[in-house]
């Protein structure tokens, strides 16, 4: 059996252990409170940096900073897609699939421009060809009318129907 002196010894050891534990818990609580305060300040700094695209993300944890960098690049890429002739920004900020789609879009736009230019050229060529054909037709009709008038003006050949005409030198010049 444990005597009174044994109980005092165990009681003193137990009390000392309880005091040590309470001291450790108090110190640990204040240490954790300081760490929590530091983490809150770091989060607030990271939130401020995340809100301003020009600020550095050194205060943010690596995984958060990486996510914010992707978000920033995505925002810049989205903005660049709305601006004409912003190819350098698209190349610098957008991901490979977006670059591919932009390249396909630009190639299709260039093909459309080339097709329109070819169509305009074909229309121009067609208009010129129609004008030339109309001029040839008008000239040919004028020549035919002159020739018909020269033949009508030529004296008759003396046949019974009056269809034959005698064409002298002047008549031939008028036909030529």
Q: Are 153 and 171 in contact (CB under 8 A)?
A: yes
pLDDT digits (tens, 9 = 90+) for 38-83: 777 777 777 777 767 667 777 777 877 788 788 878 887 888 877 7
Looking at residue 2, its pLDDT comes to 63
Query: Can you say how many angstroms the Cα of residue 47 is from the centroid of all Cα atoms in its chain?
Result: 31
Could you give the C-alpha distances from 107 to 46, 81, 89, 94, 111, in angstroms and in order? 41, 15, 18, 18, 6
Sign of the Cα pseudo-torsion (169, 173, 175, 176, in order): positive
Nearest by Cα to 72 from 91, 49, 88, 98: 49
In the predicted model, is pLDDT for residue 117 greater than 80? yes
DSSP track, 85-99: T-HHHHHHHS-HHHH
């Amino acid at each position: 059996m444990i005597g009174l002196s044994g109980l005092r010894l165990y009681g003193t050891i137990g009390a000392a252990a309880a005091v040590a534990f309470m001291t450790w818990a108090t110190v640990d609580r204040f240490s954790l409170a300081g760490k929590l305060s530091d983490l809150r300040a770091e989060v607030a700094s990271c939130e401020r940096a995340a809100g301003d695209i020009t600020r550095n993300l050194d205060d943010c944890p690596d995984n958060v900073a990486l996510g914010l960098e992707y978000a920033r690049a995505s925002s810049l890429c989205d903005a660049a897609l709305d601006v004409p002739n912003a190819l350098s920004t698209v190349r610098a900020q957008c991901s490979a699939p977006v670059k591919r789609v932009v390249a396909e879009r630009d190639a299709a736009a260039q093909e459309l421009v080339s097709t329109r230019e070819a169509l305009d050229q074909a229309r121009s060529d067609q208009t010129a060809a129609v004008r030339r054909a109309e001029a040839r037709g008008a000239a040919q009709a004028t020549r035919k009318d002159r020739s018909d008038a020269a033949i009508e003006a030529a004296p008759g050949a003396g046949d019974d129907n009056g269809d034959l005409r005698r064409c002298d030198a002047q008549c031939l010049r008028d036909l030529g």
